[in-house]
């Protein structure tokens, strides 16, 4: 995967050569010109080795973008919008329910989530009614109970889905 | 040190898998048809377990939630 000459010619990547040598995937080289994206849900591989310009990931610690030659990074995702940017094309937007994103040293980024759907498939009226139902369930549940936590998860997810389709929920 | 150093669902005793599956189910519930019905089955599963003691098999228990899976055997 990583030839010795490639690491010598590459400008900025020289210090990362040792990281690249122990990366798992062999699809990209150290002087990659694009991000290699693998986006998977349990029942489908949405992108497998796709060459993309940038991936914007909703991390629990904040949203961040992955471009070529990004430093290796692991992040847990929050429910939110994941954007896949192609050169000279409209970004593809997916709503992810959470999961993990791993960026390897050779610009390969693996995104694994339990559910990922296109924004066009979100039904704003269902989101609104699910949010209202979750809010009243959270109010009715005993403080600190699992039922309350489940209702709060539903609220959090529906709020993020609402935000993604331009719906403000309170 | 007032704010807890972990998430609310962890404090309530949920595991990450339970949290992730709940969130995924919540996403599926807010979709348009026909995708909604297509993905509806993704969150469901069921199987039966039983344990063996001294060559005797215990009655089979049906597991259809993550909560039961953790407590069955």
> Across the interface, do A114 and B24 touch by the CB < 8 Å criterion?
yes
What single DSSP character describes residue B32? P
Q: Which of A114, A148, A154 sits opposite B20 (nearest CB)?
A: A114
pLDDT band with cut points at 50, 70 and 90 for residue A28:
very low
Segment B1-46, tens digit of pLDDT: 566 678 888 888 888 988 998 899 899 988 888 888 888 888 788 8
CA dist A32 to A6, A12, A29, A42, B36, Å?
Answer: 10, 12, 5, 28, 38
Segment A121-165, tens digit of pLDDT: 888 888 989 999 998 888 888 887 888 888 999 999 999 999 888
Q: Which of A115, A122, A148 sits opposite B24 (nearest CB)?
A: A115
> How do the domains of chain A map onto residue ranges?
4-119, 122-164
> How far apart, in whole angstroms, are the C-alpha atoms of residue A18 and residue A170?
49
> How do the domains of chain B map onto residue ranges?
8-71
B30/A contact by beta carbon, under 8 A:
yes
Q: Which fold has domain A4-119?
A: ATP Synthase; domain 1 (2.60.15)
């Amino acid at each position: 995967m990583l030839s010795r000459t490639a690491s010598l010619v590459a400008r900025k990547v020289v210090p990362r050569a040792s990281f690249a040598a122990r990366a798992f995937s062999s699809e990209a080289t150290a002087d990659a010109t694009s991000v290699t994206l693998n986006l998977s849900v349990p029942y489908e591989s949405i992108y497998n080795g796709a060459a993309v310009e940038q991936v914007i990931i909703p991390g629990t610690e904040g949203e961040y973008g992955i471009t070529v030659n990004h430093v290796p990074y692991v992040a847990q995702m929050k429910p939110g919008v994941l954007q896949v940017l192609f050169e000279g094309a409209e970004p593809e937007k997916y709503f992810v329910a959470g999961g993990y994103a791993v960026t390897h040293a050779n610009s390969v980024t693996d995104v694994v989530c339990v559910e990922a759907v296109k924004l066009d498939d979100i039904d704003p009226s269902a989101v609104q009614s699910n949010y209202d139902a979750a809010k009243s369930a959270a109010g009715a549940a005993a403080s600190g109970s699992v039922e309350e936590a489940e209702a709060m998860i539903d609220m959090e997810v529906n709020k993020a889905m609402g935000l993604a389709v331009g719906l403000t929920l309170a | 040190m007032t704010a807890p150093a972990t998430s609310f669902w962890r404090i309530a005793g949920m595991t990450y898998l339970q949290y992730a599956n709940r969130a995924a189910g919540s996403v599926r519930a807010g979709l348009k048809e026909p995708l909604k019905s297509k993905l509806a089955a993704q969150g469901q599963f069921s199987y039966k377990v039983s344990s063996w003691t001294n060559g005797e098999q215990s009655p089979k228990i049906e597991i259809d939630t993550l909560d039961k899976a953790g407590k069955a055997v």
